[in-house]
Amino acid sequence: MSALEIRSIHKRYGEVETLKGIDIALDSGEFLVLLGSSGCGKSTLLNIIAGLAEPSGGDILIGERSVLGVHPKDRDIAMVFQSYALYPNMSVARNIGFGLEMRKVPPAEREKAVRETAKLLQIENLLERKPSQLSGGQRQRVAIGRALVRNPQVFLFDEPLSNLDAKLRMEMRTELKRLHQMLKTTIVYVTHDQIEAMTLATRIAVMRDGRIEQLGTPEEIYDRPETLYVAGFVGSPPMNILDAEVTGRGLKLDGCEEILPLPASFKSAAAGRPVKVGIRPEVLRLAADSPGPRLMARVEVVELTGPELVTTAIVGKQRIIASLPPRTALSMGSTHAFTFDEAALHLFDPGSGRSLRAA
Amino acid sequence: MSGTWISTRAWLMMLPLLVVMVAVIGWPLVDTVRLSFTDAKLVGTEGGFVGADNYVKMLTGSNFQRALITTSWFAVVSVAAEMVLGVLAALLLNQQFRGRTALRALMILPWALPTVVNATLWRLIYNPEYGALNAALTQLGLLDSYRSWLGEPGTALVALIVADCWKNFPLVALIALAALQAVPRDITAAALVDGAGSLNRFRFVIMPYLAGPLLVALVLRTIEAFKVFDIIWVMTRGGPANSTRTLSILVYQEAFSFQRAGSGASLALIVTLLVTILAVAYAALLRKAAGAS
């Protein structure tokens, strides 16, 4: 049974159409991440699911029931906001229990539920405090607690970690993953952070300009991006995109004589057509004596991040980035041979940006 | 001893202002205190020392007691009405609708009018022969014949309160609107999702943001209302039958109409003391509110 169904949702603000037909069906227990840069419509979609905004067209079904025109409180959802949105005048306990209080749950039952939730989130010792006496991470836990305590059918998260510092963000990410694995709740989670999307999601919807660019599991999004946009958005450093032409001998990179093999899954690409070739930085390695395709590139800059050596090199006139092991011996300004697994190449149509992978 | 040097310079720089303050506030205050213990007239006699006679006479006189009741009534009712109207107007103006900006600008107008202009305007509205209120009420069939709203002891004070509210509720609305706009959007959205109805949202979520600013408005308006003079002087001069005679009007009459500078001074000091007590009480309240949040 699908817990949440989004059916051709449109949203217009006057002349501007921010959502241009979104369709997603979500099974119970799924963790869907809406991923995209700001302005892509992901938060608008979340607000429409929550009932904080009305769509201009389409339908939202929660537990097989259309919730169009249904008040947010009656949609069986809970929401966690980027700003935490805790009630500043209430204690942590009352903040968590407020939704139950408004639903007239008896005080004893309410208190029990609040205690259990607080225990789950390890904030039992904070129950009497006011939000202003909490750290950012603690506030985030309270905000999550407020959603958990009601045990709704669908949880909505609006960029919940973006106000936290990097270390805390990682901790809370793991915490969210732990909670999801334990509680098997259905979650829709909005973020612009592709690492959050990759680590948390069971499915990712990459959004752009009010449309879904690609909907799939994290592996699918990462391994088989359907468009140039998805290829460039997911992965850090981003995928290298090189201009090339399909020839009888393989892929000839523009501006040099380098020829790359044409992978089997793209054999249908006609000779003579221009293409965009995608190679992830992490699949590139120094050739040494190993067999496989060769790519000669002149090393320009190396940046040691600790776990890897981010190497920028020039192929003809095009720039390429390789993530190499930290102790790789490279001499600046000299040309090195790089190699890669040819199955890791991606080909895109330069006009439409769509993948040329044979279905 | 650079500290001493800095503090000497600070005092020197404040000296001109201190001189002006002593001249225009300190000296008149001291002289009023001196006057209040004499039977001086406004013109003519310097008056002799009469001890606390003026105070006893004023505090035990029925005029003072009645004026105190009238003033309190005026202050409590008009300020309460202004607070309620102001908050309601602010809640309305905080909604999204067409023409909101124009309405916000319009609402400030009554408050921007000088009190005397406002008072004159309302005198026209209440006019017993051609007033708009009489015309409206008779045409609606709510009134058989024209009445003299400011001429009858039963209605004059209420009519004054209405005029005062109309002028002053925009100030409360403005303060409340500013406070409402400081309520984070996410918090009201969270309350919606949490299932709070509009009354509960107002009480639990919005009111905490409004309380502090509204307390400031309450302090300002109560003290102003307690000192009210100009609107009453223009509209009724304390009449009819002294039914709108507030403390400030009484002070004016005592000191200037009856030219009894001595007892007028004692009365003025009593009013000053009452307002000071109010101000101190409010300041304590504000400190408590600030401590709570």
Q: What is the pLDDT of residue B3?
A: 62
pLDDT band at A257 (very low <50, low <70, confident <90, very high): confident
Q: Is the ipTM of this complex over 0.90?
A: no
Which chain A residue shows the shortest CA-CA distance from B293?
Answer: A89
In this predicted structure, the answer to whether residue A214 has a pLDDT above a threshold of 70 is yes
In this predicted structure, the answer to whether residue A36 has a pLDDT above a threshold of 90 is yes
Q: What is the pLDDT of residues A75-117, one digit of tens each?
A: 989 999 988 999 998 999 999 999 999 999 999 999 999 999 9
Whole-number average pLDDT of chain B: 88
**To the nearest whole angstrom, how far is the Cα of B175 from the nearest Cα of chain A?**
20
Which residue out of A54, A80, A87, A96 would a mutagenesis test of the B interface target, given it has the greatest number of B Cβ atoms within 10 Å?
A87
> Do residues B92 and B231 lie in contact, with contact meaning Cβ atoms separated by under 8 Å?
no
Contact B208 A87 (CB under 8 A): yes
Taking contacts as CB-CB distances below 8 angstroms, the residues of chain A near B212 are: none
What is the average per-residue pLDDT within A232-252?
Answer: 90
Q: How many domains are there within chain A?
A: 2
Position A20 in a domain: yes
Which residue out of A48, A89, A149 would a mutagenesis test of the B interface target, given it has the greatest number of B Cβ atoms within 10 Å?
A89
In this predicted structure, the answer to whether residue B76 has a pLDDT above a threshold of 80 is yes
In this predicted structure, the answer to whether residue B290 has a pLDDT above a threshold of 70 is no
Position A19 in a domain: yes
In this predicted structure, the answer to whether residue A124 has a pLDDT above a threshold of 60 is yes
In this predicted structure, the answer to whether residue B5 has a pLDDT above a threshold of 90 is no
The alpha carbon of B79 is separated from its chain's Cα centroid by a whole number of angstroms, namely 7
pLDDT band at A212 (very low <50, low <70, confident <90, very high): very high
Whole-number average pLDDT of chain A: 91
Residue A216: DSSP 8-state: E
Which residue out of B188, B194, B199, B207 would a mutagenesis test of the A interface target, given it has the greatest number of A Cβ atoms within 10 Å?
B194
User: A104 and A132, same structural domain?
Assistant: yes
User: Can you spell out the DSSP letters for B118-174?
Assistant: HHHHHHHHH-TTT-HHHHHHHHTTS-SS---TTTSHHHHHHHHHHHHHHHHHHHHHH
Residue B117, token pair as written in the block: 């202009």
Q: Which domain holds residue A295?
A: 240-348
User: A189 and A275, same structural domain?
Assistant: no
Position A326 in a domain: yes
In this predicted structure, the answer to whether residue B253 has a pLDDT above a threshold of 80 is yes
Task: Identify any residues that bridge with B102 across adjacent strands, giving them in sequence order.
Answer: none
User: A322 and A244, same structural domain?
Assistant: yes
Task: Determine which of A139-153, A276-290, B48-62, B169-183 has the lowest per-residue pLDDT on average.
Answer: B48-62
Question: Rounded to an integer, what distance in angstroms lies between the CA atom of residue A134 and that of residue A141?
Answer: 10
Position A353 in a domain: no
User: A214 and A316, same structural domain?
Assistant: no
Picking from A167, A201, A233, the residue at the C-terminal end of a domain is A233
User: A291 and A167, same structural domain?
Assistant: no
3-state SS assignment for residue A65:
strand
pLDDT band at B291 (very low <50, low <70, confident <90, very high): low
Residue B84: DSSP 8-state: H
Q: Are strands A77-80 and A154-158 parallel, antiparallel or unpaired?
A: parallel
Q: What is the pLDDT of residue B292?
A: 59
Picking from A165, A199, A233, the residue at the C-terminal end of a domain is A233
Position A354 in a domain: no
Which chain B residue shows the shortest CA-CA distance from A52?
Answer: B189
Position A358 in a domain: no
User: A130 and A27, same structural domain?
Assistant: yes
User: A190 and A112, same structural domain?
Assistant: yes
Domain ranges for chain B: 54-292
Position A138 in a domain: yes
Position A15 in a domain: yes
CATH number of the domain at A92, please. 3.40.50.300
User: A220 and A286, same structural domain?
Assistant: no
Task: Determine which of A50-59, A274-283, B262-271 has the lowest per-residue pLDDT on average.
Answer: B262-271
User: In this predicted model, which residue has the larger pLDDT, A138 or B239?
Assistant: A138
What whole-number percentage of chain A has pLDDT above 90?
A: 67
Q: What is the pLDDT of residue A348?
A: 93
What whole-number percentage of chain B has pLDDT above 70?
A: 97
A351 phi, psi to nearest 5 deg: -75, -60
Interface of B with A (CB under 8 A): 184, 186-187, 189-197, 200, 204-205, 208, 293
Tally C-beta pairs within 8 A across A and B: 61
Picking from A175, A210, A233, the residue at the C-terminal end of a domain is A233
Q: What is the pLDDT of residue A115?
A: 93
User: A289 and A169, same structural domain?
Assistant: no
For A266, half-sphere exposure in the C-beta direction (CA atoms, 13 angstrom radius) is 30
In this predicted structure, the answer to whether residue B165 has a pLDDT above a threshold of 90 is yes
Contact B192 A72 (CB under 8 A): yes
Q: Are strands A309-315 and A295-304 parallel, antiparallel or unpaired?
A: antiparallel
pLDDT band at A146 (very low <50, low <70, confident <90, very high): very high
User: A225 and A104, same structural domain?
Assistant: yes
User: In this predicted model, which residue has the larger pLDDT, A30 or A268?
Assistant: A30
Contact A50 B193 (CB under 8 A): yes
* Amino acid at the residue B212: G
User: A208 and A158, same structural domain?
Assistant: yes
3-state SS assignment for residue B106:
helix
Which chain B residue shows the shortest CA-CA distance from A156?
Answer: B193
CATH number of the domain at A248, please. 2.40.50.140
What is the average per-residue pLDDT within A24-40?
Answer: 93
Contact B200 A83 (CB under 8 A): no
Interface of A with B (CB under 8 A): 50-52, 71-73, 77-79, 81-90, 98-99, 102-103, 146
User: A196 and A142, same structural domain?
Assistant: yes
User: In this predicted model, which residue has the larger pLDDT, A79 or A2?
Assistant: A79
Q: What is the pLDDT of residues B103-124, one digit of tens each?
A: 888 988 999 999 999 999 999 9
Q: B54-292 maps to which CATH number?
A: 1.10.3720.10
Q: What is the pLDDT of residue B72?
A: 93
Taking contacts as CB-CB distances below 8 angstroms, the residues of chain B near A77 are: 193
Which residue out of B98, B187, B193 would a mutagenesis test of the A interface target, given it has the greatest number of A Cβ atoms within 10 Å?
B193
What is the average per-residue pLDDT within A322-329?
Answer: 90
